[in-house]
Amino acid sequence: MPQLQHISLTQAQKIIVLQQQLHISSKAARGERGVLQSLEHLGYIQIDSISVINRAHHHSLYNRVKGYKEQHLNQLQRSGSIFEYWSHAAAYLPMSAYRYSLPRKLALKNGEQHWFKKDPKMMAQVLAEIADCGPMMARDFASATHTNSGWWDWKPAKIALEQLFMQGDLMVTERRGFQKVYDLSDKVLPADVDRTVPSTAQHCQFLIEQYLQANAIAKAEHFGYLLKGFKTSIKQQLQLMLEQGLIVQLQVGADVYFARAGVEKLLKQKLSRSKVKILSPFDNLLIQRKRMQQLFNFNYQLECYVPKPKRLFGYFSLPILQGQQFVGTMDVKVQRKERRMDLLHLHLHSDKLAELLVPLVREIAEFMQFQGADSLQIEQLSAVDNKVSRGQLQSFKQQIMQQLAG
């Protein structure tokens, strides 16, 4: 076994940010090709329904693909280059990963419980209807017997659609607005897609390789995040891959991580210390909160699920990354009719305001353009541990507004 290599926490942060491709290279592909390459590199992009700003899947791709447009994602889905399914949550995935969705689909088809009890009669009726009529949305079915007041009141046809989707009989061909359009999987899948079911070892190796490709370093528990039944098999596969020299172990502080061989070469690449990125709460970098706290000292909670009286930073507070350090969060809502972005609460973790001002303003301006906003309103500013005085915060707010106006 080769000697364990040590890297510093700062070095670990650098290779993680670089591997996440958040700093767009001038040589990177654009348009649909750039989106597909980004998805193949990351493995997935999480889909989320919250729409106080552009939805999370668009936000995460905007941060990685120069000139990203929402239609790029839609066109790739319609062409069969990507597909929707479940990663750790609802996600877009590259079609190259399709076969690794099959174990879960088969388990559900063979009796494993999903969210709802199966209604075989309704599922057969839904399949027959789509086979006869072509792609359909939930609202195309008129069999509502429940009020549509929430998730658990889905009408039977909508529940059947979701069950058939999760077990692989149906796929989503596109979204209209945010509504799924379903069709028979055999009609959606490209003819050349690999439909062979992977063995457990193959599946675990895929999870390990994909995670390291996107995230650079990981502990054993990171690879099967929110996936049931993989813990022991992943550990066995990690040991085998170590013995084969496919992966190595790195020591970061007191912790040991797995990485692809040669990952330390990333340290030779440049990474701007000043450039700012406003991230989605569902960005691939941030999904595993405990990992982010350990590696970046960033204790982040999305408060849209927290009762309003208990929120500290806002309903949809976006992490702010400067270089490889998190320097704050900003709770944002876009008023689309007024074409205005409301910055409801800017909470700073840094007291280096002079270094933050210009790159933050530049990023806010670009982010406003992405959101279709022409003006900005700032309401509240605060700083962690009161590192910045009220006067400094007020001055910082005025400087942001002045620079945006200029």
Domain at 276-405, CATH class? alpha beta
Q: Determine the pLDDT at residue 156.
A: 87
Of 95, 53, 93, 41, nearest to 285 by C-alpha is 41
Which amino acid does the sequence have at 133? C
Share the mean pLDDT of the chain: 93
| Mean predicted confidence (pLDDT) in 192-218 | 97
Task: Tell me the C-alpha distance between 74 and 72, whole Å.
Answer: 5
Tens digits of per-residue pLDDT, 86-122?
998 999 999 999 999 999 999 999 988 777 888 899 9
User: Residues 236-267: pLDDT tens digits?
Assistant: 999 999 999 999 999 998 999 999 999 999 99
Question: In this predicted model, what pLDDT tens digit does every residue of 14-54 receive, in sequence order?
Answer: 999 999 999 888 788 899 999 999 999 999 999 999 999 99
pTM of the model: 0.93
CB 94 within 8 A of CB 36: yes
pLDDT (mean) for 264-287:
95
User: Per-residue DSSP letters for 72-117?
Assistant: HHHHHHHTTSEEEEESSSEEEEEGGGGGGGHHHHHHHHTT---SS-
Three-state DSSP class for residue 348: strand
Would you tell me how many other CB atoms lie within 10 Å of the CB of residue 272? 12
Contact 5, 264 (CB under 8 A): yes
Q: Give yes or no for residue 321 having a pLDDT over 80.
A: yes
Whether the per-residue pLDDT at 135 is higher than 60: the answer is yes
Q: What is the pLDDT, as a whole number, of residue 144?
A: 45
- Domain definitions of the chain by residue range: 21-188, 276-405
Check if the beta carbon of residue 117 is closer than 8 Å to that of residue 132. Answer: no
